Amino acid sequence: MSMKFLSRGLLLAMTVPALLTAGCGATGSGQAMKGAASPASPTGTDTGMYESPMPGDSGTASPTGTAGAMTSPRAVVEQFYKALDEGEAQKAAKMFTSDGVAAVQGKDTAEGMQALTDVFEDAKVEGTPNIEESEAMGKAAFVSATVDSTRGFFLLANEGGSWKIDRYMSNSSSD
């Protein structure tokens, strides 16, 4: 079994209970999000939960690495929300791995650069994200964050020393 699948499997085993508790339990309906699979196509303050940075992790963009290289999952998520705040859908999509997937409430699941760009076109999120949890383990990480009433859950992968969003799920809490 490849390390990629092993690390993803371990990360999912840790995060599925959190998704079920946070996403589905919050709506009371048992369904956190709606959406159908689409075909593949061409700084907030810490709330006291926990943050486990990688060794040497400053939580900021790397000054000596490649342009745009991010050294922490938290920094990637903060930049993602900044891109959405600025209406930069393509910039937000480029923060994903080549096979990245986004499941945004009320929209079809997006996979691939064009589908990700399309789903973020009108997904403007205003405000500073509140990073609730951030945990990195080797080449995989997860981050949960909120902006206003929108909750986001991110699975990230470290590719060549730079963190990229691999899976993203968001929904809004119902009142």
The answer on pLDDT for 93 being more than 80 is yes
pTM over 0.75: no
As a whole number of angstroms, the distance between CA 71 and CA 56 comes to 9
Enclosing domain of residue 57:
3-172
Q: What are the backbone angles phi and psi of residue 165, rounded to the nearest 5°?
A: -75, 125
Model confidence pLDDT, tens digit, residues 31-75? 333 333 333 333 333 333 333 333 333 343 333 333 445 679 999
Give yes or no for a contact between 80 and 95, defined as CB atoms under 8 angstroms apart.
yes
As a whole number of angstroms, the distance between CA 170 and CA 100 comes to 14
As a whole number of angstroms, the distance between CA 110 and CA 82 comes to 20
Secondary structure of residue 21 in the 3-state scheme? helix
Q: What is the CATH number of the domain that holds 77?
A: 3.10.450.50
Query: DSSP letters of 4-18?
Result: HHHHHHHHHHHHHHH
Domain count, the chain: 1
Which of 22 and 156 is assigned the larger pLDDT?
156
